[in-house]
C-alpha cells in the first residue's frame, strides 16, 4: 500500500508538470503569413509576422533576408507594433517583399527566440507566375516613368554650388573695394649729358659698326629706330618707345619742328619698320640717307640753353 501511494504521488506530480508545460507553450504562438499565395513576378506581396507571448517577456525578432524568405527581396518594413491583451503581449510587424523569377517557393518555418524557449512558424508555399501575354493584341507603347515629387535633398548640390558662386562674387567685389591701388611708376633712366649729345654719340657709334655693310639690316634699323625714339622721349618727354610710327607722327606734330624734318624722321622710322618686321633689304643709299636724316633731325631739334647775362657787381 505504501508503494502504491508513492507511485500515485509521482504520477500526480508528472501530470501536473505536463499540464504546466502545456500551459507555458500555449502562452506562446508565432504566425507568419501573406495576403495571397499566388502573385505575378515583380508584384509586391505583403507579409505579416504575429507573436503572442507572456507580458513583458523578451522576444528576439528574426532578421529577414533572401535565404529566409526563399529569395524574396524585402522592399519595405514597418515598425514593430506591440499591444497588451488579456495579460499577454502581441507583437506584429508588416513588411513588403517581391520575387522576380517565376516558380513555386516554400517559405520555411521562422524561429522566434524567447527567454526560455523557441517557437516556430508554419511553412507555406507561394507561387509566382509570369504575366500572361495576349499575342493576338497589338503591342502597347511603354508607359512613361512615374513622376516622383522632388525632395529638398535633390537640390543640395545645386544649392551648394549657388552659394559658392554668390560667395565668389561677394569676395571679388570686396577685394576690389578694399584693395590698395598702388600705382608703380617706372621711370626710364635718362643720360647725364643733354639728349642731343647722347643721340649724336649713339648714332656715330652705330654708323661706325657698319652693320648694314655686313648685311645685318634688321639689326641696323632696330638700333637706329631705338635711338631716335629714345631721343624723342628724352627731348620732348613723350612715350615714343611704346608708340607706333603713326602715333609718333601725332606726338611731334605740335612740338614746333619743321615739316621737312618731321617728314624725314617719319620716313626713316617707316623704313626701319619694314626692315624689322617685313624683312626688307633697303638700298645702300637709303641706309646712308637715313643716318644723315637722323643726325640732321637731332641737330635741328636740340635744346639750346640760354645763358643768363652777367649781373654787374656793385662797388
Write the pLDDT tens digit of every residue in 164-220.
Answer: 999 999 998 888 877 655 444 455 677 788 999 999 999 999 999 999 999 999 999
Torsion of CA 209, 213, 218, 219, to 10 degrees: -10
Q: Which domains does the chain have, with CATH numbers?
A: 26-129 (2.60.40.10), 195-301 (1.20.120)
**pLDDT score of 137:** 76
For CA atoms 227, 233, 239, 245, give the dihedral sign: negative
* Higher-confidence position of 128 and 141: 128
Q: What angle do CA 146, 152, 154 make, to 5 degrees?
A: 60
pLDDT in tens, 259-304: 999 999 999 999 999 998 888 899 999 999 999 999 999 999 988 7
Q: What CA–CA distance (Å, rounded) separates 247 from 123?
A: 101
Computed over every residue of the chain, the mean pLDDT equals 82
Amino acid at each position: 500500500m505504501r508503494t502504491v501511494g508513492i507511485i500515485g504521488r509521482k504520477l500526480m506530480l508528472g501530470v501536473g508538470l505536463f499540464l504546466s508545460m502545456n500551459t507555458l507553450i500555449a502562452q506562446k504562438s508565432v504566425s507568419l503569413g501573406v495576403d495571397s499565395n499566388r502573385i505575378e513576378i515583380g508584384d509586391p506581396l505583403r507579409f505579416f509576422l504575429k507573436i503572442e507571448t507572456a507580458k513583458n517577456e523578451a522576444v528576439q525578432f528574426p532578421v529577414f533576408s533572401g535565404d529566409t524568405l526563399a529569395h524574396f527581396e524585402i522592399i519595405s518594413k514597418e515598425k514593430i507594433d506591440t499591444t497588451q491583451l488579456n495579460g499577454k503581449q502581441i507583437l506584429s510587424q508588416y513588411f513588403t517583399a517581391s520575387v522576380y523569377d517565376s516558380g513555386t517557393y516554400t517559405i520555411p518555418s521562422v524561429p522566434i527566440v524567447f527567454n526560455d524557449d523557441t517557437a516556430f512558424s508554419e511553412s507555406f508555399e507561394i507561387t509566382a507566375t509570369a504575366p500572361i501575354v495576349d499575342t493576338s493584341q497589338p503591342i502597347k507603347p511603354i508607359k512613361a516613368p512615374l513622376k516622383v515629387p522632388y525632395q529638398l535633398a535633390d537640390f543640395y548640390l545645386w544649392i551648394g554650388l549657388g552659394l559658392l558662386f554668390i560667395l565668389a562674387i561677394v569676395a571679388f567685389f570686396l577685394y576690389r573695394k578694399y584693395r590698395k591701388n598702388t600705382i608703380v611708376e617706372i621711370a626710364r633712366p635718362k643720360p647725364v649729358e643733354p639728349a642731343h649729345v647722347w643721340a649724336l654719340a649713339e648714332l656715330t657709334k652705330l654708323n661706325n659698326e657698319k652693320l648694314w655693310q655686313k648685311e645685318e639690316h634688321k639689326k641696323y634699323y632696330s638700333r637706329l629706330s631705338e635711338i631716335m625714339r629714345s631721343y624723342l622721349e628724352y627731348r620732348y618727354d613723350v612715350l615714343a618707345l611704346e608708340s607706333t610710327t603713326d602715333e609718333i607722327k601725332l606726338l611731334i606734330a605740335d612740338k614746333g619742328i619743321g615739316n621737312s624734318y618731321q617728314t624725314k624722321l617719319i620716313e626713316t622710322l617707316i623704313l626701319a619698320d619694314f626692315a624689322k618686321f617685313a624683312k626688307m633689304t633697303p638700298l645702300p643709299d637709303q641706309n646712308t640717307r637715313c643716318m644723315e636724316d637722323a643726325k640732321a633731325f637731332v641737330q635741328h631739334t636740340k635744346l639750346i640753353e640760354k645763358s643768363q647775362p652777367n649781373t654787374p657787381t656793385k662797388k
